[in-house]
Amino acid sequence: LYLHTSPEFAMKKLLVAGLPRIVQFARVWRDGERSPTHHPEFTMLEWYRAGDGCEALMTDCAALLRCAAAAGGADRLRRGERWCDPQAVPRVVTVAEAFAEFCGIDLLASCADPWRPDGPALAAEARRIGLFVGEADSWEDIFFRIMLERIEPCLGDHQPVILWRYPLALAALARPCADDPRLAERFELYVCGLELANGFGELADAEEQRRRFTADMDLKERLYGVRYPLDEDFLAALAAGLPPSAGIALGVDRLVMLATGAECIDEVLWAPVVGSAPGP
């Protein structure tokens, strides 16, 4: 038995069974994540819409920001000295546009082969903007270092930001964009530099999902020496026919932090783990 990191697979099985709108508050676990904005056990709000795309989820996210601020009696969402107007229409920007705007990097130049992106090309760009790149760092390692150090801190001041159209190599369970096979229908919501939610236009191709899962398990086995089993029931459900759908997971505790101005996630948890979170 395993503690789940998300109720995603079970909820998608319900979509296959014919439920068109599904929402769940779930306790989920992410081992090894501990910081002022991370806790190993937290609350996830996850919901799915059959027959809708990511645009409907983006509208939902904007409404949730307004509701959270109202529930907290706040006219602004706050994180330290930073603030965001929950009434403001979110700015929607593609990942490639964000790399160009904040780093001067042509991200898609390294994505000519969507499933084998060019690590050395992105490494050269990362070094150009002053970031350390290790010899063993993969394209994905470098991508997330740029994101965490140069892009995420710039997102969501005064106005929420939706970061949209991720490279296909980072698609996870998202389907490819119909107009550009290098990209995936994946987006994230940011407020005051903090990631709040991760949404997908859901991949319905069971064989493609199996290929992605297998590649991910191969990588984890090489890195950690452990191979986890595939969820064959989930893959069978996809094969039975997942309707065109979109789904998203939102970190409730982080949203409460922003609505109350809390500086550490422990402040909004009923029973945080023993020991204080490390500082920023």
Q: What is the pLDDT of residues 205-224, one digit of tens each?
A: 999 999 999 999 998 899 88
What distance in Å separates the CA atoms of residue 217 and residue 219, rounded to the nearest whole number? 5
Q: Is 233 exposed, middle or buried (0-12, 13-18, 19+ CB in 10 A)?
A: exposed
Q: Is 205 exposed, middle or buried (0-12, 13-18, 19+ CB in 10 A)?
A: middle
pTM of the predicted structure, to 2 decimals: 0.94
Residue 77 lies in a domain: yes
What distance in Å separates the CA atoms of residue 59 and residue 40, rounded to the nearest whole number? 29
Altogether, the residues listed in the chain come to a count of: 280
Q: What is the CATH number of the domain that holds 251?
A: 3.30.930.10
Q: What is the pLDDT of residues 173-185, one digit of tens each?
A: 999 999 999 999 9
- Domain ranges, residue 194: 8-204+242-268
Residue 185 lies in a domain: yes
Q: What is the pLDDT of residues 142-181, one digit of tens each?
A: 999 999 999 999 999 999 999 999 999 999 999 999 999 9
Residue 253 lies in a domain: yes
3-class SS at 252? helix
Per residue, the 3-state secondary structure of 135-202, as one string, reads CCCCHHHHHHHHHHHHHHHHCCCECCEEEEEEEHHHCCCECEECCEEEEEEEEEEEECCEEEEEEEEE
What distance in Å separates the CA atoms of residue 199 and residue 212, rounded to the nearest whole number? 18
Copy the structure tokens of residue 104: 């001067």
Residue 227 lies in a domain: no
